[in-house]
Amino acid sequence: MHKEEIQELVEKYLHDNASKEEEERLLQWYWRESSLEAEWELNNSQSENELKSMIYAKIIKHDEIESDKLFKFKSNFSKLGVPLMFLAIFILGSYFYTKENQKGSTDKIQVNVKANDILPGGSKAILTLADGRKIELDESENGILVNQGGIKVQKNSDGIIEYTFSKQEKNKNIGSDEADPVYNTIETPVGGKYQLNLADGSKVWLNSSSSIRFPIFFSENNREVELKGEAYFEVSKDYNRKFSVRSGIQTVEVLGTQFNINAYSDEKSIKTTLFEGEIRVIDLKTNDSKLLKPGEQSNVDQSIQVRRIDTQTEIAWKEGYFHFKKADIETVMRQLGRWYGVTARYEGNLPEHHFSGAISNSLTLLEVLEILEKSDIHFSLEGKEVVVMP
């Protein structure tokens, strides 16, 4: 497509005037140009800056009604499991940012830089074996990492940790199912996330600053793991053995389903979001429990509260972006802190802004802060500390 046509399609999409066919054409263009190496530029820099500002500024929630309209997800794309068009618009915005920097433009937002930029996080984690040995997974080669009594721990070609076993070897080397379970732990640092496949076929995605403790094989009666931080689960169906996740003051019980648990210690409550199937959330303080249906989220603090939500907000970290919906600046900075390894300090009387929108988490910290500065909130990066100012 010609650059004028691309600009027209982007503007239509941002104003919710694009037809289904036009949305599909823009998505197809995005996939072709997703490397961001195209050489075209818009005809005049004012239009380019205006379009970039339109794309970036929608992250800020000055007017909730207008922002909700401009950032509305498109149902025909959300069926793909991730708002691809939403990401396409922001990657397109990132392209404009890159091109403008290359031209040496002086009208971009200025951030007070007192240290080098901070790169985004990536796939990294530490595996702790039952005997205390530690393996840094991002530095290890693909292949079998260790054989624990017939249970093979290997890193496949996609960098995913897999636990596999032969039942005969497991019983011969470890003993019967009544033997004490052997536990491993995988922990992600600040700025790290990782995927692993458990011995029953269940898949787990760990967010940054999180850990999961699990037996290297599950007994014939149950499947139990412990979580700190945040993780997304795709539980393998097994109607003879429930799968349970202990996280702080709650336990989640399932047979086979997909859900996300956010149990960071610095959050006000433990949030569990169901995407598929059915789960039971149990408050361990009161023994109260609730059944969740797809699209529902429980909050466990003083009690269990259940509500329907936009589930894309909760899965965004797994798909590679930050997604804010009516989030205050403290919520935004906690997410950035876990990914970029920074802390926040607040100075002055900050305006009560709320943020809605998405930003790719592959951007550097300063690129993210430049986007957020559209809100009349300003930032100064001092080493590993972000100073937030009015």
* pLDDT tens, residue order, the chain (390 aa): 666 777 777 767 666 677 878 876 766 665 555 433 333 343 444 344 444 444 433 333 323 333 333 333 222 333 333 333 333 344 443 333 333 344 333 333 344 443 478 999 999 999 999 999 999 999 899 999 998 877 889 999 899 999 987 656 555 544 444 567 899 999 999 999 999 999 999 999 999 999 999 999 898 889 999 999 999 999 999 988 999 999 999 999 998 899 999 999 999 999 999 999 999 999 999 999 999 999 999 999 988 999 999 888 899 899 888 888 888 899 999 999 999 999 999 998 877 778 877 788 888 999 889 888 877 788 999 989 999 998
Residue 233 near residue 364 (C-beta atoms within 8 A): no
- Residue 336, domain extent: 325-357+375-390
Same domain, 330 and 304: no
Other CB atoms within 10 Å distance of the CB of residue 286: 12
Which amino acid belongs to residue 298? S
364 part of a folded domain: no
Residue 165 near residue 152 (C-beta atoms within 8 A): yes
3-state SS class at 48: helix
Place of tokens 């940012």: 97
117 part of a folded domain: no
Same domain, 254 and 165: yes
* Domain termination site, one of 103, 133, 166: 103
Count of structural domains within the chain:
3
The structure tokens listed for 20 are 């289904």
**CATH number, domain at 300?**
2.60.120.1440
Same domain, 207 and 271: yes
> Cα(389)–Cα(350) distance, rounded to whole angstroms?
6
Same domain, 309 and 329: no
363 part of a folded domain: no
* pTM of structure: 0.73
Same domain, 281 and 242: yes
The structure tokens listed for 55 are 């794309």
Same domain, 309 and 379: no
Query: For the chain, how long is the longest CA-to-CA vector?
Result: 73
> Cα(86)–Cα(89) distance, rounded to whole angstroms?
5
Helices then strands, each counted (H, E), the chain: 10, 26
Same domain, 160 and 292: yes
Q: DSSP letter for 92, please.
A: H
